[in-house]
Structure 1
Amino acid sequence: MAEPVTDRRLTPAEQASRRRRSIALALALVGMVVLFYVLTIAKLGPSLFDRAL
């Protein structure tokens, strides 16, 4: 098996690439959460707001 890399310093280009990838993943996750929320509200329909509290 391959031995794990220990204490490897990333170059500035690698750090920037990792940061962009992390931001893209975070935005994708937030987008999916918003999409699921909107679809759930749309599926429940207007009756969701007509119920007694």
Structure 2
Amino acid sequence: MEKGNRQVVVSTLQFACTDNVPTNLATAESCSLETLSTLKLAQRAKFIKNNW
């Protein structure tokens, strides 16, 4: 993978995540634990650094 292509992949991934997160949040109390777990995972994923 060329260095120039990586930015495109990251941008596409970021776009897909930010586009889908609001529509995938469940407000039902029965889904609250899974929703909270997903949000915590997303918060931790922000700090992942790729050294490619």
Report the TM-score range of the alignment, normalised by the length of the smaller protein. 0.3 to 0.5
Higher normalized helix content (fraction of residues):
2
TM-score computed with the length of structure 1 as normaliser: 0.42
TM-score computed with the length of structure 2 as normaliser: 0.43
Higher relative contact order (Cα pairs below 8 Å, separated by 6+ residues): 2
